[in-house]
Structure 1
């Protein structure tokens, strides 16, 4: 029998965050993530479609708060070596970014149904891709100017702006010494001759009326450098287990 062949090796090193707080500048140090207090105004002025962007800190357990429609839940991860699916990735644990949106008249940025309401009632915790009840949530809340025609261009601009905020911490995360990581895990994409072939099919929206999806961005779960599945014609795309694990698909629907 032929030996198995290793196609890709991915190392994910995690750095745990114990506390999130506001500060004079953005930083990650000694388990504390600080958010520059001036970023609200900076990102509000970054696009003329924005009425207000507010970056809130939601502490563990503080879920009885009103939120606008949930547009995405995003981990903070970055490539240190190699491309998505291989090399080295640094990621933060203990914190997620929650992107929500509405316009200044309260019209929710949703397509077929809205998830606005009390956070405790709208988000299932402790699942793959969602925060645990011990995690901090950085709430990136976008309020658009009223009267805009909400389409794919505008929702993509919102996701890009949130991605620019996350990139601030990705750039810091790249510089952290991997030897100080809280945990380190290795994952391998392998070919096993003679074994069963397993394919998992994931369907994502591709109608293009309002939302989009990105494939193979420059950063895990990012926007920049990604390919729109709508622009690709909604053709089937094959991802390896490590590419999927490393954030090669950003489902924005």
Structure 2
């Protein structure tokens, strides 16, 4: 028991995190930050990290928390422990989890009194369709509404009363450049009219440098042309780069209308990398489009397909090699993005705001942390990237604290 294709939170899902978006829109709540907690394998470690999450929440002076997880079964032990430790410190919480029929809680305690089930399947069971049981904006809205009610019952009612002037702590500017066409050419470039050209053979030197990878194929998939076989999904990710500042502040450029799709398979055996269910098959039958963690129905897909050496699709090193290879391909695009300011774009502003006197609500993200195809990497060099990131497992799953803007600026990369 762990995590299947339909509920996994891809890199794109964290980049567009519905809970972060909903909490940031709440005028009468302060959203000071996010605690990212990795799922541990050993029970003692699960308890240890849960206590550290609660310590951090208390230090942040959190009035309440939303606790979200994308796994089930054994992973619910981490989920339950975090909710309990928060409760012991007087911090009420609302959980967000896939439950359905298959993912019912394997344990509980008196503090687990409100969990929003984001199962969308009529059968109540996990599926091999990426995005089918994703946490959505509506799930996040429900969780926030329920949490407000819990705060009211605890004598900490949310109020619109003005206690002082709000203060902007960090500002993130995102400029989105629309891509209308992706094609292969002699060199990687982005030109007027929203044309992204990918250098032919961009993957060859990358594959040759990775001993755990036999081959890499790069394809361009047009919107609606999804009636073909794909190997198991390893990730969906944005194409974005920092132009100024660190993750969570400054200026980020984003290509809209195009999404990276990473898939993979082992040679010889044909093993499809996965945790508890692979998603290979006809693409249109194995993804729900227009979800937070999946491409839009009008998106062009930059499809990077990894052929792993036999056995390497089952190792942490092999999976990381696949993600590293995809990011190196995207890195060549990012270099061209640095000079895009002369092209039309849509500007978006995001602010982390301190709100004097308002109830502080934090988000706890319980993420993959067991290695192989079930891990998470934090703080890559580039938004949504992998290069330079630190894995939760090798970090001992000690919780990270990130700002809302760091989350929406791609500080979390899923190795799923």
Tell me the TM-score normalised to structure 1 length: 0.95
Name the one with the larger helix percent.
2
Q: Is the 8 A contact 2:218 2:305 kept in 1?
A: yes
CA separation of 1:232/1:8 partners in 2, compared to 1, >3 Å: closer, same or farther?
same
Higher deviation after alignment, 4-13 or 223-232: 223-232
The Cα shift of 1:229 comes to 1.3
Q: Deviations over 1:125-163 (max 9, x none)?
A: 111232111110011001122354731111111111111
Gapped regions of structure 1 (runs ≥ 5): none
**Residue 248, structure 1, aligned to residue 408, structure 2:** no
Q: Is the 8 A contact 1:13 1:181 kept in 2?
A: no
CA separation of 1:25/1:108 partners in 2, compared to 1, >3 Å: closer, same or farther?
same
Higher deviation after alignment, 79-88 or 189-198: 189-198
Distance 1:97 1:34 in 2: 14
Q: Which residue of the partner structure matches residue 370 of structure 2?
A: 207
- Root-mean-square deviation (Å): 1.5
Q: Which residue of the partner structure matches residue 298 of structure 2?
A: 134
Matched pairs, number:
252
Q: Is the 8 A contact 1:58 1:139 kept in 2?
A: yes
CA separation of 1:203/1:40 partners in 2, compared to 1, >3 Å: closer, same or farther?
same
Task: Specify the SS of the correspondent of 2:413.
Answer: strand
The Cα shift of 1:42 comes to 2.5
State the 4+ residue runs in structure 1 displaced beyond 3 angstroms. Answer: none
Distance 2:205 2:378 in 1: 28
Higher deviation after alignment, 195-204 or 11-20: 195-204
2:321 to 154, 157, 162: 157
CA separation of 1:117/1:149 partners in 2, compared to 1, >3 Å: closer, same or farther?
closer
Name the one with the larger strand percent.
1
Tell me the TM-score normalised to structure 2 length: 0.59
Structure-to-structure mapping, 1:231-242, within 5 angstroms: 231-242=394-405
CA separation of 1:228/1:82 partners in 2, compared to 1, >3 Å: closer, same or farther?
same
Q: Which residue of the partner structure matches residue 5 of structure 1?
A: 167
Q: Is the 8 A contact 2:271 2:313 kept in 1?
A: no
Distance 1:147 1:91 in 2: 35
Task: Specify the SS of the correspondent of 2:314.
Answer: coil
Q: Is the 8 A contact 2:264 2:307 kept in 1?
A: yes
Distance 1:4 1:130 in 2: 34
The Cα shift of 1:209 comes to 4.1
Task: Specify the SS of the correspondent of 1:72.
Answer: strand
